Amino acid sequence: MDRISECLMEYKGWCEKLGITTVSDVNKLIRDGKTSWLINISEIWQEQKISEIAKTIKDNISKKKIILISGPSSSGKTSFATRLQLHLKVLGINAVSISLDNYYIEKQYIPLGEDGKPDLEALEAIDYKRFNKNVEELIEGKEVLIPIYDFGKACIVKERPLSLKPDEVIIVEGIHGLNDKLSSDVPDENKYKIYCSALTALSMDDGTRIKSRTTRLIRRLIRDFNFRNSSYQYTFELWPSVERGAEKNIFPYTDNADIIFNSSLLYELCVYKNPLNELFMDAEGDTVNAATISQLSSLVNNFRSIEKIYTPPSSIIREFVGISKP
């Protein structure tokens, strides 16, 4: 059994012990006034998993100096990386972040995709040789110059000095984190690789499992609208390309992960119900996306709703619905 299957089986086993395996189980808890319990038990499970990962890194701090985090779109990588930094800080470990976005090569050298446009998701769009050299020298205790890339000008505009102390680690979040070519010059003993995904354990009442890709698409729709001023039509149009990129650049390397982090939460579709319905409010007459809209709406409308103000500020859900005040 691969690591992803093991992670999902562990999560499903935990859900079974709680007696929460179907949509009806979730709805009953909300109907019985146990919404806060449902939220808290879900979040505490996730916090415990992050804490365990942080403890593993601490126990191997003399060797594990670079933490590589990868996962498909809307898997919660950014929130997970932020929370992992906090857990490491609690254990006395400082984590410095390096963004792969700063290692993009100049636009004219970026390889073209099948559509003839620059393929920003290709590993070759990143100056991974410089990244390798920077990380290698940081681990050796040297000060390096980290590039700062300006997407407006499509080039590196300046550099910043960075060095690594003995009690510090590097966190790198990006789609190529598990691809060994990205960090080929860095010894394996210095790397700790984490794959992040939304492994949904809940099933519909008829036994049909809710697909992880469906959960991620709903997350992406809501996030794009809230933070990128994007319509649902634009997200739908982009989604096949996003998933093709994952099939090419992420999924083939999941077996390289040292551990899998499951960002799924038992109550999250309850929170997404109202925002998604609002997003589709003017969708009547959209024949192009009608089938997908119907599928997603039908799914969330099976759940009782939970207003987003009740989700903890540190919850991964906030990466998609945003921070709001009561």
Query: Does residue 289 form part of some domain?
Result: yes
pLDDT range class, residue 326, cuts 50, 70, 90? very low
Q: What is the CATH number of the domain that holds 135?
A: 3.40.50.300
Number of domains in the chain: 1
State yes or no: pLDDT of 324 exceeds 70. Answer: no
Higher pLDDT, 25 or 155: 25
Work out the pLDDT band at 43, boundaries 50, 70, 90. Answer: very high
Q: Is the pLDDT of residue 118 over 80?
A: no
| Closest C-alpha to 308, from 225, 222, 232 | 222
pLDDT, mean of residues 75-94: 94
Q: What is the DSSP letter of 170?
A: E
Work out the mean pLDDT of the chain and round it to a whole number: 92
Is 326 inside a domain boundary? no
As a whole number of angstroms, the distance between CA 175 and CA 213 comes to 16
User: Whole-angstrom Cα distance, residue 153 to residue 107?
Assistant: 9
Domain membership flag for residue 116: yes
Nearest CA to 310 out of 298, 295, 326, 297 is that of: 326
According to DSSP, residue 149 is labeled E
d(CA 197, CA 213): 9
CA distance 166 to 164: 7
Confidence tier at 122 by pLDDT (50, 70, 90): confident
Q: How far is CA 179 from the centre of its chain?
A: 16
Any domain includes 235: yes
pTM, two decimal places: 0.91
Range of the structural domain that residue 222 is part of: 3-321
In this structure, which amino acid lies at residue 172? V
